[in-house]
Chain A
Amino acid sequence: MKNNYNFHIGRITPLSRDNVDTDQIIPKQFLKSIKKSGFGPNLFDAWRYEDEGYPGQDVSERSINKDFILNQEKFLGADVLLSKDNFGCGSSREHAVWSLMDYGFKVVIAQSFADIFYNNCFKNGLLPIQLSKEIITKLFDIAEQKKEIEIDLLNQVIVCEGNELCRFEIDPFRKECILEGLDEIGLSLKFSEDIKNFEIKRSLDAPWVFNERNEG
């Protein structure tokens, strides 16, 4: 599962909270899976349903929390997630990104992101956009008004009703990874000779790093 796009048009699901942690995005009981897919029905499980979920369950039988933003009719299909400060903090579980994508989110906008989550997004093609508090506040209004926004990754700009709302920053390599759907491991392996040479030097400088168990 990998997104690969340069332009996205969508409505916004507003999640008005700071410090949304990855334990909330996908609770631990679902991390037992050895796959990357199938997490969508359990995204925000504890907030979304009124009971405790477990892996492999038929979620259509469960009672939903009608107040939670993902369950409100007016935000159904709104595939841009909007949140506040320090989104994705806590556990390094990449399952958080897989569940957001499996649910259908294409972009996550927040005032700030935790480092590991932010990295994990790019590895899968989920676009994280960091914006100022002022713009975030505007976007919460736009979300309520159910307006569409256009996210132009190529030109790094967000447009609403024909007007430029803001520009956003993104690391050029990461941008390319999403635009081109690049195989990062393949790219790194192009430097195999450099890695091998480094390794030889390091094994001379610090041979103990390369030792196996050393009882002697």
Chain B
Amino acid sequence: MSKTLYDKLWDAHAVIQRNDGTHLLYIDRHLIHEVTSPQAFEGLKLANRKPWRISANIATPDHNVPTTNREDGLDGISDEVAKLQVTTLDDNCKEHGITQFDILDKRQGIVHVVGPEQGVTLPGMTIVCGDSHTSTHGALATLAMGIGTSEVEHVLATQCLVASKLKNMKVSIDGELSKGVSPKDVTLAVIEKIGTAGGTGYAIEYCGEVIRNMSIEGRMTVCNMAIEAGARAGLVAFDKKTLEYVQNRPYSPKGNDLQLAIAQWHELMSDEDAIFEETIHIDGSSLKPKVSWGTSPEMVIDIDGTIPEASSESLSHALKYMNLKPGMKPSDIKLDQIFIGSCTNSRIEDLRIAAQVVKGKKVSDRIKRAIVVPGSGLVSAAAVEEGLDQVFVEAGFEWRAPGCSMCLAMNPDQLGEGEHCASTSNRNFEGRQGYGGRTHLVSPATAAAAAISGNFVDVRELVE
């Protein structure tokens, strides 16, 4: 029987089906951060249980870490409650012998950037993390899902997840993207089309010419926001690009293991006649840069579009919260801050694209603050090596240390009340980036261009 990529990954990890129909799904890798793990470790301790397989786990603090004064390590965390959470992760990892890239480690970073970068994420694996954006790793032909804290405890204790099989959705993006249109615009277009609940109960496989031509980093951006379309998992089939990306990383297989792995990885694609319960087509050639205007990631318009009428209670709430009026254009929005970072867009490729836009220019006087937060210590080092940090600093951006930062503003990087931010992150919920803050989700190129212009502009007009 022909199978989808998701079916193959599922079948390769289903340990047993229980009487009630649910499965135990074996988990190859478990990524851990400081926010959703302390209660899970506490639960283990109370039940007198131990982690099932220590080497399956990799940890790094990312949500709470400050992006300044990093050389001070834990002492640089001024918020005592946040510091306790980070030290609790240290303690738990030490107690159980779990590898952690701690706050002072050069490999520390956003867990979803660190995993692929280290080769911890490999094709064909099942990967979970107590973070909804775990879907990111699906770009490497893995089955990767966000889980809650009880499930974190369950995976620690049993190396399995209690799961029911998801349905299959195919999202095919065909044609060729225009210059200036990026993976972020593609993933926002998908959410705009199917809505934030469109993918509920599904694993989404992204395919089509646009995805095939897209870099692995771009595919990570697309899969990252599968969860904003409601899908717990996003996936892309294995190909030559995947292999090039995963080879020669610290945790990736070498020698004979690599040859064995490659033979298996080539199977990681949907069979030609595999059945998807839902299929969506998007014409990539017609896509334009996108801007979110509201308080849900489905409230998205084209850069030259207009903000819609308040035709429902939700839309009217969103317009009020964002202090915007129907008929306004993105260019009419007064911006206060720029944030380039997050597990969606903080990889080296994102920083290169943004740097290219800002090179030799200055951040507009109208922008109060513009920050760049690389996704990991290694991304930061690579950017410094290429001189990108200087490009940003000379333009008037602040160059920060790696972490989740203003994507969810658990650390001191926050919007002020009423401020509008052009942000490369993934959620524009009320208060997400700071109490009363107003988020506009955009690509790195659009955020960079907005920093220079002081308002949203069409990046297609800036690139050749």
Q: How far is the CA of A20 from the CA of B144 in the complex (A)?
A: 24
Q: Which residues of B contact A19 (CB under 8 A)?
A: 196-197, 296, 314
Binds B, one of A65-73, A101-109, A114-122: A114-122
Chain A CB within 8 A of B373 CB: no
Indicate if the CB atoms of B88 and A34 lie closer than 8 Å. yes
Chain B CB within 8 A of A3 CB: no
Indicate if the CB atoms of B36 and A94 lie closer than 8 Å. yes
Indicate if the CB atoms of A23 and B430 lie closer than 8 Å. yes
Q: Distance (Å) between the CB of B323 and the closest chain A CB?
A: 16
Residue with the greatest number of chain B CB neighbours at <10 A, chosen from A17, A92, A94:
A92
Indicate if the CB atoms of A91 and B79 lie closer than 8 Å. no
Q: B265-295 CB contact bits vs A (8 Å, 1 = yes)?
A: 0000000000000000000000000000000
Selected from A56, A91, A171, A172, the residue in CB contact (under 8 A) with B81 is A56
Indicate if the CB atoms of B254 and A216 lie closer than 8 Å. yes
Chain B CB within 8 A of A52 CB: yes
Chain A CB within 8 A of B188 CB: no
Indicate if the CB atoms of A209 and B125 lie closer than 8 Å. yes
Chain A CB within 8 A of B463 CB: no
Chain A CB within 8 A of B153 CB: yes
Closest to B28 in A: A209
Interface residues of B in 238-269 (CB under 8 A from A): 250-255, 257-258, 260-261, 264
Indicate if the CB atoms of A46 and B435 lie closer than 8 Å. yes
Binds A, one of B47-55, B210-218, B341-349, B351-359: B47-55
Indicate if the CB atoms of B150 and A123 lie closer than 8 Å. yes
Closest to B296 in A: A19
Chain B CB within 8 A of A90 CB: yes
Q: Which residues of A contact B85 (CB under 8 A)?
A: 32-34
Residue with the greatest number of chain A CB neighbours at <10 A, chosen from B47, B148, B254, B261:
B148
Interface residues of B in 12-54 (CB under 8 A from A): 15-16, 18, 20-22, 24, 26, 28-29, 35-36, 38-39, 42, 47, 49, 52-53
Q: Which residues of B contact A192 (CB under 8 A)?
A: 158
Q: How far is the CA of A210 from the CA of B409 in the complex (A)?
A: 35
Q: B143-162 CB contact bits vs A (8 Å, 1 = yes)?
A: 00011111101100111101
Q: Which residues of A contact B219 (CB under 8 A)?
A: none
Q: How far is the CA of A90 from the CA of B197 in the complex (A)?
A: 10
Indicate if the CB atoms of A17 and B313 lie closer than 8 Å. yes
Selected from B250, B314, B429, the residue in CB contact (under 8 A) with A214 is B250
Q: How far is the CA of A173 from the CA of B17 in the complex (A)?
A: 12
Closest to A37 in B: B39
Chain B CB within 8 A of A24 CB: yes
Indicate if the CB atoms of B157 and A189 lie closer than 8 Å. yes
Indicate if the CB atoms of B430 and A93 lie closer than 8 Å. no
5 A-B pairs besides A92-B147, A195-B26 with CB distance below 8 A are: A34-B85, A112-B197, A185-B158, A195-B160, A209-B122
Can you list 25 pairs linking A and B with CB atoms under 8 Å apart?
Answer: A19-B197, A23-B427, A23-B431, A46-B435, A91-B131, A91-B427, A92-B36, A92-B148, A114-B197, A116-B146, A116-B148, A119-B151, A188-B158, A188-B160, A189-B157, A189-B158, A191-B24, A194-B24, A198-B15, A202-B26, A202-B28, A208-B252, A208-B261, A209-B28, A216-B255
